[in-house]
Chains A and B, each alone.
Chain A
Amino acid sequence: MIEKRVSQAVLELAMSTGADYAEIYAEDTTYDSVSMVADCVEAVNTSRDKGAGVRVFSGTNSVYAYGNGTDEESLMSLASKAAAAVSGVKGENRDVTLAERDFGKVCRQTLPVSEVAKADRVKALKEAYFSAKEQSPRIVQVRGILNSYVKHVYVANSEGVIGTDERPYIRMFIVSVASDGTENQVGTVGPGAGAGFEFIQGLDLKAIGKKASDTALKMLDAEKCPAGRMPVVMAGGFGGVIFHEACGHSLEATSVGLGNSVFCGKLGQKIAADCVSACDDATIAGEWGSLAMSDEGEKTERIVLIENGILKNYMIDKLGSRRMNMRSTGSGRRQSYALAPTSRMSNTFICPGKDNIEEMIGGVDLGLYAASMGGGSVNPVTGEFNFSVNEGYMIRNGQIAEPVRGATLIGKGHEILFNIDRVGSDLQLGQGMCGSVSGSIPVNVGQPTIRISEITVGGEVK
């Protein structure tokens, strides 16, 4: 993407005022999207986003400059802007010698979306769309979206590394709206992968449409969820959003490195129940949250965060590594060149345990079964989190009973980790977009079916 000679000159200029580290990040990304609503293709869009950023460190101070040009003149201009903001002593001339490093591939596309005719992409979307629509006359509207993009990333840094990564992403969304005339309820399914169109070809598209409508219809018939503290059994897959929100964000160097996390200084200590182990693993082939090279030119890895309840590691980027005086775990990520990278999650999940799901539910007299979770958010300083249940059922006398809607789970991450008392063996991953200081990025959340002995459920107070 950029000549080695140019990168060397840019990095040297960026460090000319005393910075002790410099980095170029450039990307060229092509997005394609097809969206359907009201039974027809409503909009088709193709967009290209190209740009570059130059970042320098002086100790733990960080300066970032970005723009849309990736030619020599534009990059040198970014370097001089970044250098001008470093208020250090005039440094001696730094020589940077660069060499390409091969990071391998974690995500491949065997059938690039660009090689699939747009009519065929539309055909796949329609199969899922109309399956959703045809479930019931009470499904009054469906939205269908097929998004795909390929991101070409280039990183060169003053540690001598030049790295590139090609990252294909594809995701289909079906959102079904069920209505009885006065009330609407929604069901959403959104499978995605770090892959090409072969991922869509491998899906049961009719089943995806049906699943979205089934949830919407069930929730239309559901009563409001009763509020209170109760045990909750959470199904595997996107249920892992609880770990992502309640714990994951507080284990990122972004909060730990600045002393803003409840998990600061807790390495080697017990922070969760014995049955809880958890990982962040960017190296799983073809997954939505996977990548071979971090956005800072480092090899990504499988990070063991918690092992049998003991805190083992954090997710650390380069700047976090300086602040925490710990090794970077290759966790530097960003939405695009328009944001400086910081420590982020990739595929983050609670590891499978040995508990039996029937026993888990059977042991609950009155509680909630969260079959499908929505999103949530957390304040890493206090660990306070909240997230919504998209599809829930009451558990009565050890049996899954009537559907309930409008449930929210709230609590404190460091407390909830101790309240997990069962972990099943059925690990599944679910796709999501995670928002933080370096933007919105694709991540997987995941878990097997788990039970939380007690948590505050928000809903209707009877």
Chain B
Amino acid sequence: MSKLNEFCRTLGQYAEKHCGCEYEISASSGDSFEVKVLEGEIISYSVNDYTSVSFKVKKNGKMGYSSTTALEEDGIPALVSAALENASINENPDEQFIFKGAESYPHPKVYGEELDGITAEEKIEIAKKLEIKAKQADPRIKKVEESEVVSGSGTVVIRNSHGLDLSETSNFIYAVVVPIAEEEGNMNSGIGICGGFDRAAIDVDKAVADGVKEAVDFCGAGSMKSSAQRVIFRNSAFCDMISTFSGIFSSENAQKGLSLLAGREGEKIAAECVSFTDDSTLDFAFGSRSFDSEGVPGQRTEVVENGVLKTLLYNLKTANKAGVKSTGNASGGGVSVTNFSLRPGEPTLGELCEKAGEGFIITEVSGLHAGANAMTGDFSLMAKGYRFENGGKDKKPVKGVTVSGNFYELLKNVEEVGCDVYVNMFGRAVSSPSVLLSAPMSIAGE
């Protein structure tokens, strides 16, 4: 960290002398640890440190960017001149800002002190335990493809020509287990994940139970005949959907004509039971932070309330353009959600099934990076789940089907939101309960 501090100080001094304009330095540094176990042996072990510095100038109203991971003082002139040159060919007509700072900042808890005390040996033991317990859980688990523990910590720093000087340090740990079930020549893998900011968050038994259940349940599963079905998205699957389509709430996309929510603030865009909140101030949540990538304080924002779009998510540039205040959602030059959650309702997953009578519970969707179009809302995805009848009393696992539809339509068709909140641990920090949809969806199989 001291080397990074020193580099940033030298860069700041050079920028003061040579830029003749507003500038901003943002830096990050940290370390990470990863261990993977297979058949009781450590097959992969990785210990790392990283540093990176981004530099931004606002020259004649235009932004220019450059960055480096090489903390070499003789690279500073090139870093600065690249940013200045890049600003000179930028044509973006929108007014841009280097933030002057806010009076106060929230301080969500993002550092779990307890994690400092977990040694590498303990993490190896956790990875080994994941594998052993998964194999013991069910005779059909013949193998565990992955038993992994990952941890890390990092500090982000923002300093600019207005005297803004912010920093925040966070850490995390998570563990993943991927058991493979084998029965009568069929193989199927499941995934279990746990993690957070203290020892208690590493719930090995829960992760193993989740992964094993999924691997075993779908082992002999086949496809089914194509049909239109009442659909329940199980919590984790709906998290993936929300995460993939979360960009529709970005003012940046809206202003560029890349979201169909442009200009629809105040309008009903979803069913009555749908409310979305973005909140970067939650303690011990993966998306929390004191300030965003422009140095604007984090906040809680009601995005959709009872189906009505209250606001989009903004950074300084898009907020200025729309005549509103930044919601503190700047992220790497654009706009992104922090902790984005669908407000839970009352019913359990079982009660949602009862209400539907018969239909299809989607427990997993895959191929989101290709089969879901965040711009149009259209998706056509490979899915796994349970075909159910008699209010959920009879359930049959099904895989190798696809589900297709449109996310904007989906939001309007939510009939009921469950109470079983799932928090995503990879990618965006999205949380969601299971949801029951009113209109049937296309499930394509044989």
Contact = CB atoms under 8 A, between A and B. Distances in A.
B260 interface: yes
Name the 4 nearest CB pairs between A and B, nearest first. A458-B402, A227-B444, A375-B370, A386-B382
Interface string A42-58: 11111111110000000
Nearest to B219: A382
B49 to A, nearest CB: 4
A259 B43 CA distance: 14
A93 interface: no
B71 A141 contact: no
B382 A44 contact: no
Contacts of A51: 50, 69
Interface string B143-185: 1010000000000000000000000000000000000100000
A4 interface: no
B371 A44 contact: no
Given A228-B226, A386-B402, 20 more contacts: A38-B257, A41-B89, A46-B82, A47-B67, A60-B41, A61-B43, A68-B70, A182-B260, A184-B260, A184-B377, A185-B376, A186-B376, A227-B404, A381-B180, A381-B188, A388-B367, A411-B400, A458-B403, A460-B404, A461-B226
Contacts of A243: none
Indicate the size class of the contact surface on chain A: 35 or more
Interface in A364-411: 374-377, 379, 381-382, 384, 386-388, 405-408, 410-411
Interface string A425-462: 00000000000000000000000000000001111110
Contacts of A38: 256-257
A149 interface: no
Contact of A65 (B46, B69, B83, B228): B46
B331 interface: no
Given A44-B64, A259-B143, A118 B226 contact: no
A41 B92 contact: yes
Interface in B331-351: 333
A365 to B, nearest CB: 19
Nearest to A86: B45
Most buried by B among A37, A375, A461: A461
Contacts of A182: 260
B187 A45 contact: no
A379 B189 contact: yes
Given A68-B50, A459-B380, A48 B68 contact: yes
Interface string B44-55: 111111111000
Nearest to A70: B70
A450 B278 CA distance: 47
A183 B406 CA distance: 10
Interface string B81-99: 0110111011111000000
A208 to B, nearest CB: 20
Main SS class of interface, A: strand
Nearest to A181: B260
17 contacts: A42-B91, A46-B83, A49-B69, A60-B41, A62-B44, A66-B49, A68-B69, A118-B85, A119-B89, A177-B375, A229-B446, A340-B44, A381-B187, A456-B223, A456-B445, A457-B444, A459-B380
B70 A48 contact: yes
A217 B226 CA distance: 29
A34 to B, nearest CB: 8
Contacts of A340: 44, 46
Contacts of B145: 258, 260, 381
B222 to A, nearest CB: 12
Interface in A148-165: none
A67 interface: yes
B380 to A, nearest CB: 4
B354 to A, nearest CB: 25
Contact of B86 (A45, A85, A177): A45
Contact of B402 (A43, A140, A379, A456): A456
Given A457-B444, A458-B380, A227 B47 contact: no
A338 interface: yes
A209 to B, nearest CB: 17
B404 A458 contact: yes
A387 B367 contact: yes
Contacts of B188: 381-382
Nearest to B445: A456
B66 interface: yes
